[in-house]
Structure 1
Amino acid sequence: MNAPTHHGERTAHLDTAGTGRMPDAVRTVLARCTALDDRLGTAALQESLGDVLHTRIHERLGALLSVPAADTILATGAAQAFEAYLHGITPGPGDRIWTTPHEGVANLTALHALRDRTRCRLEVVPLRPDGDLDLDWMRTHLDEDVALVSAVHLSPACGTVNPVHDIGRLLAPHRARYTVDASHSAGRLPVDAARIGCHLLTADGWRFLRGPHTTGFAYIAPTPHLAPDAAPYRAAAPEPAAVAALDAALAHHTATARPPHEDLLPLLRAAVRHTPGMELLAGGQEQAAILAFRHAQIPAAAIRRGLARRGVVLAKTVAHETPLHPAGRVTAPALRASLHHDNTAQDIDRFRQALAEVLLEERGAAAHPARPARGALAAAGAATTPLGPAGRAGPGGSGAPSPYRARPVRRRGHLTLHRAT
């Protein structure tokens, strides 16, 4: 539910891909369980939530992902589950692992750590001119040296829906393990992990599922040679109160996601396209839920702040969040709007009107000699790592130092990547 603004109107929340707004029922469960934990301790809370923690949450996850409940695990986030899984595999020095330009910084950092640990090679599947993954390139270059393929279902960069089912069928006859990041698709698109044919599928609980932060989960396909106590099964679990709230969020999602919902993305795209000076960032042939765009002269930060003052919430993208994607290599940050089932056409109208007001305000401020524009365009866009030959990430292959060194930047709330020296 959208909260009232200081003007008495409801906020148009267009950033569910960043942080979904918890429904009232979910927030109530989280508050009640947190209070019980504070009053009686974690052991008492765990005892009171026994069925939820050990059975019901996994049944809900299994139903969400169309897999057996026993094959699901809880984690503090999709990235943590992915990193734990990588600790349990050991590619050889001659093996190759594939990622894509849609990979997020956390998973990409984990893949570079795997490469540095095992001395395998990391390659990037290229995009076609239309922005889709090049499946023909994958067919041509796929052999038994490919040990791992990491794909993203719904790209956080610009909403591209990637052909994860086609990739699964392509990889099925081969030895490569197949992992899918469903962080931005779980709760927004149908996710059938069994039909995808992946060995690992990870997702966050706080985006389109609208659960609490520090909740995530994964499906791990049964693997005969993998011991039950292997690293993937030792991913850190969320706190009991967070698990109970995630359980409530899954129940809410099941109850509200079934009716047909209007696809508002065409309305949002038209609102951006018909605004002078705005540029859409291409999202491939199939796009869902997420739209990225920028203005030719006015900084994204200034637009985002102006929209927020008018009760419209969306995100400013940062190149380092998806450093291999073309959208991350533009000369300035962009804006990202994302749509949930509970958004309405009125939210899009509100966005369109607020955007026009912000652009008019910023142009007027820029034209006034005594008052610079609120967000005067600064030198933006730190250098990103170019792709090497054959789509390989960064300079060199096996044995080369990782071109990424993650460091948290608290002011922006994301990881900044730097070239290793």
Structure 2
Amino acid sequence: MPSPLSAAAIDALRESIAGVRSTTHFNHAGSSLPSSATVEAIHAHLLREASLGPMEAGAAAAAQTERTRSLAARLLNAQPSEIALTTGNSAGWGAAFAALGPWRAGERILVARHEWGGNLATMRHVAQRAGATIEVIPSDSTGRVDPHALEAMLDERVRLIALTWLPANGGLINPAAAIGQIARRHHIPYFIDAAQAVGQVPVDVAALGCDVLAGVGRKALRGPRGTGLLYVRQDFLARLAPAFVDTHSAPLDAHGEPVLRNDAQCLESSEASLALHCGLANALHEALEIGVNNIRGQIDRIANRLRAQLAEIPGVSVLDQGVERSGLVSFNVAGLDALSVRRALAAQGITIGSNGVAYTPFDMTSRGLTQIARASVSYLTTDAEIDRLLAGIRTLAH
């Protein structure tokens, strides 16, 4: 079992984070606070670009991009050849989905009811024109996707199973590995949206049994915005036909013909911010040095305390479901909409998030929710910050 980090270790980590001195941050699921070393890594490369010229500095920093790829592979228990560096979670997930090729009438996509709204928009955009369908896998009594219900839905028309592992609208954690076992047994492509998982919980793509897994730098990893990680299983690459290629993903041969790369970089673009790659490399290094098991133990302790004490405040409803839970804590305050709660807390220097139906439409509609307030914690969150947030919510609830 993971164990929480010591108070001394947390204090030492917080010394390198400018943001903790200016805000009480509870929107780590939106974008977390980078370390000064991550910011410096970005700044150092921008200075190289200003000094040498962007193209020349890019050639000099090529090794840093490959370091980023190798660190990401370590984090996910993958091979570097299976990692594409993207500009964000949606960009990576969408590129992999588009590479599945044309859809046909009658084909089926199965999703958990917690699927991210951006992924649903991508799938619907294609499925509606082709006559394919998107169907929701039932959840069990705890709110998690039900693997047994999934297996009962399968037939030869199912072309994709898609799962948002840690939903954006609360603390539920879906049984991603159990879904993977079913997908592998039936030879059905399996995509995991791990935007909230990467850097928060241990991720082992081999144990998960996924073909594609998308993550992002700006959330639990505390990397820069505009960065993402895309894992594509090596044996699955041959089934993909990228919708867009360039001189990086499919360089021209001596006859002027494009030669598609045989690794995950076939889903990358030649146009990338190497400064952001440098920042992401540092953030990945820090996560690996701290240890994701340690991060998970700390987040679990903090989030459990926050949920328990929120539930004791009259007028506050804690909305998280599931058995195993993440660092995303969803709640509502009676008589106030979530945006008003967010703005009132912001006026006190406390940052939280708020979600509407568009973020997770199937789940929100199924549960009769139109909005939620969301306080998402990090392993950097202190008990004093929890006390400050609880005091602010008590004032609003009264």
Q: Which has the higher contact order (CA 8 A, sep 6+)?
A: 2
Match of 2:62 among 47, 50, 56: 50
Q: Quote the offset at 1:4 in angstroms.
A: 6.7
Q: Which amino acid is the alignment partner of residue 334 of structure 1?
A: I
Give the Cα–Cα distance (whole angstroms) in 1 for the partners of residues 292 and 274 of structure 2. 28
Residue 292 of structure 1 pairs with residue 330 of structure 2: yes
Q: Quote the offset at 1:344 in angstroms.
A: 1.7
Match of 1:67 among 61, 78, 93: 78
- Of Structure 1 and Structure 2, the greater helix share is in 2
Are the aligned partners of 1:292 and 1:336 in contact in 2 as well (CA < 8 Å)?
Answer: yes
Residue 215 of structure 1 pairs with residue 227 of structure 2: yes
Q: Quote the offset at 1:243 in angstroms.
A: 0.7
Cα 1:119–1:51, aligned 2, differ >3 Å: closer, same or farther? same
Q: Which amino acid is the alignment partner of residue 40 of structure 2?
A: T
Cα 1:258–1:108, aligned 2, differ >3 Å: closer, same or farther? closer
TM-score (norm 1): 0.79
Residue 275 (structure 1) aligns with: 313
Residue 250 (structure 2) aligns with: none
Give the Cα–Cα distance (whole angstroms) in 2 for the partners of residues 278 and 84 of structure 1. 40
Residue 254 (structure 1) aligns with: 288
Q: Which amino acid is the alignment partner of residue 29 of structure 1?
A: A
Residue 310 of structure 1 pairs with residue 310 of structure 2: no
Q: Quote the offset at 1:109 in angstroms.
A: 0.9
- 1:135-186 Cα distance to aligned partner (Å, 9 max, x none): 2211111122211001011111112111110001111121310000110000
Match of 2:92 among 81, 85, 90: 81
Cα 1:172–1:224, aligned 2, differ >3 Å: closer, same or farther? closer
Q: Which amino acid is the alignment partner of residue 206 of structure 1?
A: R
Q: Which amino acid is the alignment partner of residue 242 of structure 1?
A: L
Are the aligned partners of 1:14 and 1:314 in contact in 2 as well (CA < 8 Å)?
Answer: yes
Are the aligned partners of 1:168 and 1:198 in contact in 2 as well (CA < 8 Å)?
Answer: yes
The 5 A counterparts of 1:80-99 are: 80-89=91-100, 90-99=102-111
Cα 1:74–1:290, aligned 2, differ >3 Å: closer, same or farther? same
Match of 2:36 among 7, 24, 35: 24
SS at 1:159 equivalent: coil
The 5 A counterparts of 1:380-395 are: none
Residue 354 of structure 1 pairs with residue 392 of structure 2: yes
Give the Cα–Cα distance (whole angstroms) in 2 for the partners of residues 86 and 257 of structure 1. 31
SS at 2:234 equivalent: coil
SS at 1:219 equivalent: strand
Are the aligned partners of 1:271 and 1:348 in contact in 2 as well (CA < 8 Å)?
Answer: no
| Structure 1 residues not aligned, in runs of 5+ | 361-421
SS at 2:371 equivalent: coil
Residue 359 (structure 2) aligns with: 321
Residue 133 (structure 2) aligns with: 121
Give the Cα–Cα distance (whole angstroms) in 1 for the partners of residues 200 and 134 of structure 2. 30
Cα 1:331–1:161, aligned 2, differ >3 Å: closer, same or farther? closer
| Structure 2 residues not aligned, in runs of 5+ | 1-13, 244-263
Match of 1:239 among 260, 273, 277: 273
Moved over 6 A (4+): none
Give the Cα–Cα distance (whole angstroms) in 2 for the partners of residues 3 and 25 of structure 1. 11
Give the Cα–Cα distance (whole angstroms) in 2 for the partners of residues 206 and 30 of structure 1. 14
Are the aligned partners of 1:319 and 1:328 in contact in 2 as well (CA < 8 Å)?
Answer: no
Residue 336 (structure 1) aligns with: 374
Cα 1:224–1:133, aligned 2, differ >3 Å: closer, same or farther? closer
